[in-house]
Amino acid sequence: MQGAIAAISTPPGEGGIAIVRLSGNKVIETVDGMFKPHRQGVQLKARPSHTLTLGWIIDPEGQVLDEALVSIMREPHSYTGEDVVEINCHGGTLPARQVLERVIQAGIRLAEPGEFTRRAFLNGRLDVSQAEAVIDVIRAKTDKAMQIAVRRLQGSTHRQVQQLEDELIQINALVEASLDFPDEVGDPDYVELRERLQQIVDQLDHMLEAARRADIYREGITIAIAGKPNVGKSSLLNALLRKDKAIVTDIPGTTRDVIEDWLNVKGIPVRILDTAGIRVTEDMVERIGVERSQEVIQQADLIIFLLDVTTGITAEDQFIYDSIAPNKLIVLVNKEDLDDKKVTEEDLDQMLGSVPIIRGSVKEEIGLKELEDLIEELILAGGLESDDLEMVVNLRQQQSLHQARQHVQEVLSYMETTTLDCLGVDLRGALESLGEVTGKNLKEEVLDRIFHDFCIGK
């Protein structure tokens, strides 16, 4: 079996579920390492082929990323003919993407376009008549994907990548020249080398961080609407979307699951989630909805917390408020259009401190414009400098940048205790990883640089 690959195999955009598919060597074991089954003690690797297992995908700290249904298919009876795992996540881009990132963190490579199909064909799972179709996919996607990715590297990002490339080529040249031409080129200065490598790591960190933040523009952010039952969450969702999506009634607890949709705030896609009202309930269905809502609140980037001016601040409000991190909170005091006002400025001050507060009425569309402005302000206050706005690298490129960083870090860690020839292995690895971002073969450029920079010649 070949090395493991992974990709999101459902079409981008909204759907009921999204599937992260993995294929290749040890994929079942790898997923076991990030899977917490509902039924304790169940291990995927002990499960028979072609079975489904329900559980949670967790991050290395044990935090839940998503609830998922995981199917395993062992070789040779799978699409690719290799061991295959399919993780069925919740729909929407974000959960699947988080799961995919988790899988990549675990050391699985992002699949090339058409790679699953290619493997299926090479492993005899597709017949010859399908070969042409596979070729079309590869031709259409691989080159184009690279072209698009490279073309999207523009402006400051492009300059940064080039600078890094240039610096790494220079460092490689410095080291390689000293190894291959010891008579003409002295040993590299380790103090200087360390400084330059550290700068590369810093720069890569900066870029990865910027890439993560720039993701906001592509992948969007998640906003959850929280609050006790009948506080007006669904109405707010509707108002923001300006269409009926949730069922709006006056009966508390009508919204029994998380309802979501997308809106656009100044070019940033915002996934907005309406949650079931959180309260202590005996109703089984509703209780699942409540638990789910709390999960959503944990995951959301921003939470709009609704208070009802007519009920005052209740124990339920306090309970919900305590489950939300204050740094991602906006409070909307609703129903200000009604006369029965039981929430005072003092109440708010005491409970919320410096959290931004808007007073308004969803029904009368009072304060909604304010709310949108505040959302935008808070998203962008996350530190998206204008410089970074050009930072649009895809996941594959991020993976390469990350690998480059790992290689350079490895050099820094072993500089004092190992020899230059060994350090060369990782220096070259860093260069190759960076070359994947721009699709260039940088090995020859190192040689060019050696002959350009050093007077070599006996």
Partner 1 sequence: MITYAAGSYQVVVIGAGHAGCEAALASARMGCSTLLVTLSMENIALMPCNPSIGGPAKAQLVREIDALGGELGVNIDKANIQVRTINTGKGPAVQALRAQADKYEYHKEMLRTLLDQPNLDILMAEVTRIETKAGRVTGIVTKTGAHFDCQAIIVTSGTYLKGRIIIGDIIFDGGPGNQFPATMLSQSLQDLGLSLGRFKTGTPPRISKKSVDFTKMVEQPGDERPLRFSYISPVFIRPQLSCWLTHSTPQTHQIVMDNLDRAPMFTGVIQGLGPRYCPSFEDKVVRFAHKDSHQLFVEPEGRATDEMYVQGLNTSLPEDVQIQVLRSIPGLEKVRMIRTGYAIEYDYVLPSQLKSTLETRGIAGLFTAGQINGTSGYEEAAAQGIIAGINAARQVLDQEPLVLKRSQAYIGVLIDDLTTKEMDEPYRLLTSRAEYRLLLRQDNADLRLTEIGRQIGLVSEERWRIFQEKTQLLEKETQRMREYAVTPSDKVIGPLLVAKGSSPLKDRISLWELLRRPELEIEDYLKVGLLDEYDLDILEQLEIQAKYEGYINKQHEQVKRFEKMESKLIPAAINYENIPGLSNEAKHKLNQFQPSSVGQASRIAGVSPADVNILLIYLEKERRK
Alpha-carbon span 26 to 103, nearest angstrom:
12
Give the chain's radius of gyration (CA, Å). Answer: 27
Smallest gap from Cβ 439 to partner 1, in A, equals 9
Smallest gap from Cβ 34 to partner 1, in A, equals 23
Q: Are strands 221-226 and 84-90 parallel, antiparallel or unpaired?
A: unpaired
**Which residue's CB is nearer to partner 1, number 243 or number 452?**
452
**Which residue's CB is nearer to partner 1, number 29 or number 295?**
29
**Which residue's CB is nearer to partner 1, number 2 or number 199?**
2
Smallest gap from Cβ 124 to partner 1, in A, equals 8
Angle, helices 190-219 vs 395-414, to 10°: value is: 160
Smallest gap from Cβ 409 to partner 1, in A, equals 15
**Which residue's CB is nearer to partner 1, number 185 or number 259?**
185
List the 221-226 sheet strands across, edge first.
259-265, 268-274, 221-226, 302-308, 329-334, 357-359
**Which residue's CB is nearer to partner 1, number 61 or number 127?**
127
Smallest gap from Cβ 188 to partner 1, in A, equals 10
Residue numbers of the site for partner 1 (CB under 8 A)? 2-3, 112, 114, 118, 121-122, 128, 131-132, 134-136, 138-139, 142-143, 176, 178-184, 187, 416-422, 424-425, 428, 441, 446-447, 450-451, 455-458
C-alpha 212 chain-centroid distance: 7
**Which residue's CB is nearer to partner 1, number 136 or number 283?**
136
**Which residue's CB is nearer to partner 1, number 203 or number 399?**
399
Smallest gap from Cβ 212 to partner 1, in A, equals 27
Q: Are strands 221-226 and 268-274 parallel, antiparallel or unpaired?
A: parallel
Smallest gap from Cβ 450 to partner 1, in A, equals 8
